[in-house]
Amino acid sequence: MEHVQLVGLAIIVSILIGVPLGVYLTTNEYLAESVLQIFSIIMTIPSIALFGVMIPILSTIGQGIGFLPAFIALVLYSQLPIIRNTYTGINEVDPNIRDAAKGLGMTTLQRLIKVEIPNAMPLIMAGVRTATVLNIGVGAIAAYIGAGGLGSLINQGISRSNTTMVLVGAVVVSILAIVVDQLLRYFEKRFTPKGI
Amino acid sequence: MKTKKRIAWIVKILFWLIVITFFTWTIMNDMFRPIVEDFGEFTHLLGQHIIIVFISGLLAILISIPLGILVTRKSFQKSEFWIVNMANLGQTIPSLAVLALAMGFLGIGMKAAIVALFIYSLLPILQNTIAGIRSVDKNTIDAARGIGLTPFQILIKIELPNAASSIIAGIRTALVINIGTAALAYLIGGGGLGAWIFTGIRLFDNAFLISGAVPVTLLAILVDYFFKIMQQVLVPKGLRLAKK
Amino acid sequence: MLEFKNVSKIYNGNKKAVDHVNFNVDEGELVVLLGPSGCGKTTLLRMVNQLESITEGDIHLNNKSVKESNKIEMRRKIGYVIQSNGLFPNMTIEKNVMIVPDLLGWDRKKQLDRFNYLMELIGLHPDEYRKRYPHELSGGQQQRVGVARALAADPPVMLMDEPFGALDPIIRTKIQDEFLQIQKEIKKTILFVSHDIDEAVKMGDKIALFRDGQLQQYNHPFEILHRPANEFVSEFVGQDRVLKSTSLYSVKDLVDSVSLTGYQKAGSVQTVQEDTSLRIVISKLLNQEAEQLAVEDTKGKIKGILTLDLVEKFLYKQIKETPKRTG
Ligand SMILES: Nc1ncnc2c1ncn2[C@@H]1O[C@H](COP(=O)(O)OP(=O)(O)O)[C@@H](O)[C@H]1O
Ligand SMILES: [Mg+2]
């Protein structure tokens, strides 16, 4: 299904960008402030307006309509929740735990992989969940710029004045969002290291 | 330390350079032409947009804050759990779906759009009102009861000032989402600046796209910024100190 | 003044938190509710100002049942201090302290005078702290302000639930001393919850000792220490109870009861004031700081020499000769 593909791909890419970036930001709080500020401004841009801004830009390389603008928009929107939660999650690891890890002679990288990321995992997962649910919604709107997906059902229903089609589209998208949300909440609990 | 600050500055400057480049590019290509040429239509659409947001937002504020207060009263403790969960669930539903559902039940027009936006705005404000009131330290409330404040006095003097920041944050979230969703209202015949954006998409007309999208974006950022300031201004000083 | 009549509390039909408790508190008395954690002290206290309902029995305040009083009005006449101070973070210190007088409609001038008086009383400069917020104060200062707030409308009765429990030992001792001084001046009827026998002995005119919601013994600290009513009480007060009881006495008590050894002006001798606690005297004598101490009265005149033997003689006399006192 186009919708799931679009959202899934965007989330994977977002995680690949956002988590390392979030980790890196913990080494420079000034940069963290700037980056988080920038992404929260981007987050404020309404999705249809972001499409509206991106289409003219991307049309200069012949990709104005379709998958690419939708994909870029989804990745941009995902950055704030993922980066912020990674950054906060790692920053909030108990300093005592970090000290203990240092005391055991772990290198910075070992500490990150063995101690900090596992402890920040619940928050990172929550960020990914927020981003995913958001993307399902934005993905539906992306149908209007030719990215396909469940939004097309609503789109066509409206233009044909077919109420049933509109309702089916709306309900299916909602159920998709709710199910994914619940599923990710479940994983969040499952993958939280015992004892946190 | 210095290099860290410098990197942060460079990133910021780069971002603003991109923004400036974008605006220069749009202006050079005459992309704000529709606003200039048909200013009357522009103000009409902007007016519609603001009215949709204002009415639905105001209704949402007027209903969800009292509702949040009510739900956190002792006698409603059981319903609180359900309401919080429903608010959570409701916010998972995509905005386009909410609009589509409203159209399915109420037909086409501004009214359906307002109803949809009203319901959608209700949830974050309600959620934040409840969370804000619940975040007040239990011992503080206990002390207040113990020295003889009435439940109403506790609400006015303790709970609401302490929840103010959270409630305003809820309003801020709701309105920003609301402005974006109002841009979709055009789809169900609700008017607003979405009209130009969708026309632009349909006709592959960059000028209409930009003339619709940029004002909507600026409106959202402006409102967001305004409430960010309000959040700082309206929070009692003692609480700002407490956060540090 | 305050009468507990067969008071019981059962939470949600479960175990009894307070079990048929009977005792009276006289006006101006500071009674410590003492016992291990979970024995029902807080519950009993909170039934007085009706923050908890009374399941069975009744509590009378000035011969009137608290159940029948208007809760809000009654609470404004009862000071309430809790462990975590419960100051309102959104209000200045002045607003916090003056909240009850404000609700009672006192005029500005009266409030101002009262605020200044209370702040002086608790040892904080009124003008310096007036516009500050709770989070700008240290834990000890916050707790003092909590006491001032409870005293604001000059309530005849105070309820204090482990008011100094969250403070570190040095500050706690200091505030305890200060509060005893304040109590000498204000003479309130006070219920004071504690789980610390030392604090109870130091603060209480009387101690009510509880176990599993039941009152084990209600009497003067001296009686609790020297004539424990049962196994539980004697275990709770500890094997060093005689040592604990020494904080009940000052040097003056000793001087009044046994005669000091004569004082010769030979060599240098450490001196102690007459109002020093006997506990400190013993500590000094045992600490090899001195084998004997010269007792000095308020005018700086030496009254005689104090030794460990004399302290022992005094304590023996107290335990054997004091007539049995009842609560
Ligand atoms: N609100 C409540 N609901 C149910 N049980 C309670 C409640 N408050 C206290 N209890 C129980 O009542 C007993 C006495 O508690 P409390 O009065 O707080 O003891 P203390 O102050 O002596 O530590 C405890 O077993 C406690 O668990
Ligand atoms: Mg207690």
Nearest CA in chain B to A55: B206
**Residue of C43, C55, C192 to test ligand 1 pocket, by largest number of atoms within 8 Å of CB:** C43
Q: Domain of residue C261: give its range.
A: 249-321
Residue-wise pLDDT for B110-156, tens only, equals 999 999 999 999 999 999 999 999 999 999 999 999 999 999 999 99
DSSP strands (E only) in C198-285: 206-211, 214-219, 271-273
Nearest CA in chain B to C50: B146
The answer on C271 and C317 residing in a single domain is: yes
Give every strand in the sheet of C271-273, ordered side by side: C271-273, C293-296, C302-306
The domain tally of chain C equals 2
Could you identify the atom of ligand 1 that is nearest to the CA of residue C18? 14
Could you identify the atom of ligand 1 that is nearest to the CA of residue C162? 21
In a domain, C326, yes or no: no
The answer on C281 and C263 residing in a single domain is: yes
Nearest CA in chain C to B164: C90
More reliable by pLDDT, C69 or C253: C69
Lowest mean pLDDT among A53-62, B178-187, B211-220, C44-53: A53-62
The answer on C274 and C225 residing in a single domain is: no
Q: Which residue has the tokens 């207060």?
A: B69
User: How far away is chain B from the Cα of A106, in angstroms, using its nearest Cα?
Assistant: 25
The answer on C267 and C130 residing in a single domain is: no
Q: Which of B139, B158, B241 comes nearest C133 by C-beta?
A: B241
| Cα-trace Rg, chain B | 22
Bridge partners (DSSP) of residue C207 are C32, C219
The confidence score (pLDDT) of residue B93 equals: 92
Last residue of a domain, one of C239, C274, C298: C239
* CA-CA-CA-CA dihedral for C117, C118, C119, C122, to nearest 10: 120
Name the closest ligand to CA C36. 1
Interchain contact, B4 vs A28, CB within 8 Å: yes
Residue-wise pLDDT for C197-247, tens only, equals 989 999 999 999 999 999 999 999 988 988 889 999 999 988 777 777 788
In a domain, C20, yes or no: yes
The confidence score (pLDDT) of residue C321 equals: 66
Q: Which CATH superfamily is domain A2-191 in?
A: MetI-like (1.10.3720.10)
User: How far away, in angstroms, is C24 Cα from ligand 2 center?
Assistant: 21
SS3 (DSSP) at C161: strand
CB C320 within 8 A of CB C312: no
* Protein residue with its CA nearest to atom 11 in ligand 1: C17
More reliable by pLDDT, C317 or A133: A133
In a domain, C232, yes or no: yes
Return residues with CB closer than 5 A to ligand 2 (ion): C 42
Q: What is the DSSP string of C79-123?
A: EEEETT----TTS-HHHHHTHHHHHTT--HHHHHHHHHHHHHHTT
A148 pLDDT tier (thresholds 50, 70, 90): confident
The confidence score (pLDDT) of residue C227 equals: 87
Interchain contact, C80 vs B143, CB within 8 Å: yes
Does C163 have pLDDT greater than 70? yes
Instruction: Give partners of B (≥3 CB pairs < 8 A).
Output: A, C
Strand C64-65 and strand C214-219: pairing?
A: unpaired
Interchain contact, A48 vs B180, CB within 8 Å: yes
The answer on C136 and C60 residing in a single domain is: yes
The confidence score (pLDDT) of residue C238 equals: 82
Q: Which residues contact B62 (CB under 8 A, 6 or more apart)?
A: none
The pocket around ligand 1, CB under 6 angstroms, is made up of C 11, 17, 35, 37-43
| C-alpha–C-alpha distance, residues C242 and C222, integer Å | 9
Question: Any idea what the CATH number is for the domain that residue C270 is in?
Answer: 3.90.1280.20
CB C64 within 8 A of CB C1: no
* Protein residue with its CA nearest to atom 8 in ligand 1: C43
Interchain contact, A154 vs B201, CB within 8 Å: no
The answer on C258 and C136 residing in a single domain is: no
The confidence score (pLDDT) of residue A97 equals: 85
Question: Which residues numbered 19-48 in A keep a CB inside 8 Å of some CB on B?
Answer: 28-31, 33-35, 37-38, 41, 44-48
Interchain contact, A34 vs B8, CB within 8 Å: yes
Q: Which of B15, B94, B221 comes nearest A44 by C-beta?
A: B221
Could you identify the atom of ligand 1 that is nearest to the CA of residue C40? 17
Interchain contact, C82 vs B142, CB within 8 Å: yes
Interchain contact, A52 vs B180, CB within 8 Å: no
Domain segments of chain A as ranges: 2-191
In a domain, C111, yes or no: yes
More reliable by pLDDT, C268 or C160: C160
The answer on C253 and C112 residing in a single domain is: no
User: How far away is chain A from the Cα of B206, in angstroms, using its nearest Cα?
Assistant: 5
The answer on C194 and C102 residing in a single domain is: yes
The answer to whether residue C158 neighbours chain B at the CB level (below 8 Å) is no
Does C327 have pLDDT greater than 50? no
The answer on C211 and C103 residing in a single domain is: yes
Interchain contact, B97 vs A169, CB within 8 Å: yes
Q: Which residues contact B87 (CB under 8 A, 6 or more apart)?
A: B123, B124, B126, B127, B130
C293 membership: H or E segment, kind and range:
strand C293-296
pTM of the predicted structure, to 2 decimals: 0.86
Interchain contact, B100 vs A169, CB within 8 Å: yes
Mutate to test the interface with B, among C49, C51, C90 (most CBs of B within 10 A): C90
Instruction: Give partners of C (≥3 CB pairs < 8 A).
Output: B
In a domain, C226, yes or no: yes
| C-alpha–C-alpha distance, residues C156 and C65, integer Å | 16
Residue-wise pLDDT for C145-160, tens only, equals 999 999 999 999 999 9
Nearest CA in chain C to B234: C90
In a domain, C244, yes or no: no
In a domain, C327, yes or no: no
Burial class (CB in 10 A: 0-12, 13-18, 19+), C212: middle
| C-alpha–C-alpha distance, residues C204 and C190, integer Å | 9
Mean pLDDT of chain B: 92
Token couple for B209:
């796209």
- Rounded to 5 degrees, φ, ψ at B155 are -60, -50
Interchain contact, B139 vs C84, CB within 8 Å: yes
Half-sphere CA count of C30, side-chain side, radius 13 A: 23
The confidence score (pLDDT) of residue B18 equals: 95
Last residue of a domain, one of C207, C239, C271: C239
User: How far away, in angstroms, is C38 Cα from ligand 1 center?
Assistant: 6
In a domain, C99, yes or no: yes
Number of CB pairs < 8 Å for B and C?
87
Residue-wise pLDDT for C101-160, tens only, equals 999 999 999 999 999 999 999 999 999 999 999 999 999 999 999 999 999 999 999 999
The answer on C264 and C228 residing in a single domain is: no
Does C325 have pLDDT greater than 60? no
Q: Helix H segments across chain B?
A: 2-28, 33-37, 39-71, 77-92, 95-106, 110-134, 138-146, 151-154, 160-182, 194-203, 206-234, 237-243
Question: Any idea what the CATH number is for the domain that residue C91 is in?
Answer: 3.40.50.300
Could you identify the atom of ligand 1 that is nearest to the CA of residue C213? 14
Question: Which residues numbered 150-169 in A keep a CB inside 8 Å of some CB on B?
Answer: 151, 154, 157-158, 163, 166-167, 169
Last residue of a domain, one of C177, C212, C239: C239
Give mean pLDDT, residues A112-125.
89
C44 membership: H or E segment, kind and range:
helix C41-48
Residues of B in contact with A170 (CB under 8 A): 96-98, 100-101, 104
The answer to whether residue A183 neighbours chain B at the CB level (below 8 Å) is no
| C-alpha–C-alpha distance, residues A189 and C168, integer Å | 39
Name the closest ligand to CA C161. 2
Q: Which residues contact C44 (CB under 8 A, 6 or more apart)?
A: C4, C7, C9, C18, C21, C33, C210
User: How far away is chain A from the Cα of B220, in angstroms, using its nearest Cα?
Assistant: 6
Give mean pLDDT, residues C154-177.
91
Residues of A in contact with B96 (CB under 8 A): 137, 140-141, 151, 154, 170, 173
Residues of B in contact with A166 (CB under 8 A): 100, 103-104
Give mean pLDDT, residues B66-89.
90
CB A58 within 8 A of CB A69: yes
CB C211 within 8 A of CB C179: no
Interchain contact, B221 vs A41, CB within 8 Å: yes
User: How far away is chain A from the Cα of B23, in angstroms, using its nearest Cα?
Assistant: 11
The confidence score (pLDDT) of residue A194 equals: 66
